[in-house]
């Protein structure tokens, strides 16, 4: 009988922290992914001595098949895991199209919500949405560190698609992190989007760690207002937003009205998040420091685009998008003082 792990052909597009760890741990568990890397140095290292994985998943050295270009992939891939930055995912999908078999699937591993854009390229019936709820970072050339635990959440972007096709994808991703399936992938993705839109984007504007950011009371209040705006957009879109952070962050409960006592509880909750994750530096800030653009257009930008389409005012998120673009363009400096702007003042 044919081994399922050998019969399903897999490619991971993008050798960043998430893509590299995913490919290496899948390979270690018996799957045989082909990793697409932009840098020849990574291709050479991955295929010879292997990728080095460290951190909370232990230390591993795993050799994987690797190529430099998408066009170097074979034509019989069944499942593509797209692990590029959000800004690069559409171009990658366009390049993949000539290699797509009629029944091939594309699993998105990006920050933000990119599935709509990807569906326009490859068709919504081929898209598997995925929430990446764990963290990893680069620790050197072909060296990746898993920094925080968490899970994958996967679901069909096309709600009419066969849920059974998620089974082999879950089996693959379970070898990397615990994985669960959902029938409400947009609600799961939106839940992560909200917290990312706060942490990532304000971290860029301020240029400080989360601990320093949330030590400031008015910024904690800004977090709540940005969440309120995002939830108003979700309501207009008909999205049921799922709890985030492993079920600990229920936006409906957090944001319900309740006077001064409720405001104090909201402030305490955000303060606890700031203390628990005080050393975290925004991934978008890290991108800027490496000379790369942020993913703002797929984070707060997504919220603002949908807000305009549904006539929902989102002044705080609009201001955040404008400021991050100014910082990227070099017309505004990173500074905590950016958040003193009157647009971020709430009674």
Q: Chain-centre distance of CA 27, in angstroms?
A: 22
CA-closest candidate to residue 122, choices 140, 141, 101, 144? 101
Bridge partners (DSSP) of residue 35 are: 12, 66
Q: Could you check whether 4-183 and 187-344 share the same CATH topology?
A: no
pLDDT in tens, the chain (347 residues): 345 666 899 999 999 999 999 999 999 999 999 999 999 999 999 999 999 999 999 999 999 999 999 999 999 999 999 999 999 999 999 999 998 998 999 999 998 999 999 999 999 999 999 999 998 888 888 999 998 889 999 999 998 899 999 999 999 999 999 999 999 999 999 999 999 999 889 999 998 888 889 988 889 999 999 999 999 999 999 999 999 988 889 999 999 988 888 888 898 888 888 877 777 777 788 888 888 889 999 999 999 999 999 999 999 999 999 999 999 999 999 999 999 988 887 65
User: What homologous superfamily is domain 4-183 in, according to CATH?
Assistant: NAD(P)-binding Rossmann-like Domain (3.40.50.720)
Q: Across the chain, how many H-helices and E-strands are there?
A: 14, 12
CB atoms within 10 A of CB 169: 21
CA distance linking residue 183 with residue 77, whole number of Å: 25
Q: Are 134 and 148 in contact (CB under 8 A)?
A: yes
How much is the pTM? 0.93
Q: What residue segments make up the domains of the chain, in order of their start?
A: 4-183, 187-344
CA-closest candidate to residue 58, choices 95, 86, 24? 24
Q: Which two tokens stand for residue 213?
A: 């950011």
| Helix, strand or coil, per DSSP, at residue 81 | strand
Topology at the third CATH level for domain 187-344: 1.10.1040
Bridge partners (DSSP) of residue 264 are: none
CA distance linking residue 323 with residue 331, whole number of Å: 9
In sequence order, the 6+-apart residues with CB closer than 8 A to the CB of 314 are 229, 230, 232, 233, 303, 304, 307
């Amino acid at each position: 009988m044919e081994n399922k792990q050998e019969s399903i052909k897999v490619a991971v597009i993008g050798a960043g922290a998430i893509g590299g760890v995913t490919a290496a741990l899948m390979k270690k568990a018996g799957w045989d992914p082909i990793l697409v890397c932009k840098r020849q140095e990574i291709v050479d290292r991955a295929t010879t001595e292997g990728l080095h994985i460290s951190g909370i998943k232990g230390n591993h050295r795993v050799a994987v098949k690797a190529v430099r270009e998408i066009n170097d992939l074979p034509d019989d891939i069944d499942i593509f895991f797209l692990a590029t930055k959000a800004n690069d995912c559409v171009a990658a999908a366009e390049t993949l199209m000539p290699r797509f078999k009629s029944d091939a699937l594309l699993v998105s591993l990006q920050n933000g919500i990119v599935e709509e854009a990807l569906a326009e390229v490859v068709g919504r019936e081929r898209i598997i949405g995925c929430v990446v709820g764990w963290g990893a970072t680069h620790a050197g050339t072909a060296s990746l560190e898993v920094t925080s635990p968490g899970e994958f959440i996967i679901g069909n972007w096309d709600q009419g698609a066969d849920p059974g096709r998620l089974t082999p994808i879950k089996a693959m991703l379970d070898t990397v992190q615990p994985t669960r399936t959902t029938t409400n992938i947009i609600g799961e993705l939106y839940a992560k989007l909200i917290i990312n839109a706060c942490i990532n984007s304000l971290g860029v504007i301020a240029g400080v760690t989360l601990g320093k950011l949330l030590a400031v009371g008015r910024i904690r209040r800004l977090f709540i207002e940005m969440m309120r705006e995002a939830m108003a957009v979700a309501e207009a879109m008909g999205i049921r937003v799922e709890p985030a952070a492993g079920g600990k962050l229920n936006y409906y409960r957090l944001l319900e009205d309740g006077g001064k006592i409720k405001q104090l509880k909201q402030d305490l909750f955000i303060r606890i998040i700031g203390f628990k994750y005080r050393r975290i530096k925004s991934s978008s800030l890290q991108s800027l420091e490496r000379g790369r653009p942020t993913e703002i257009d797929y984070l707060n930008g997504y919220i603002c685009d949908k807000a305009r389409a549904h006539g929902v005012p989102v002044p705080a998120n609009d201001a955040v998008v404008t400021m991050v673009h100014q910082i990227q363009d070099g017309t505004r400096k990173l500074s905590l003082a950016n958040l003193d702007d009157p647009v971020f003042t709430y009674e």
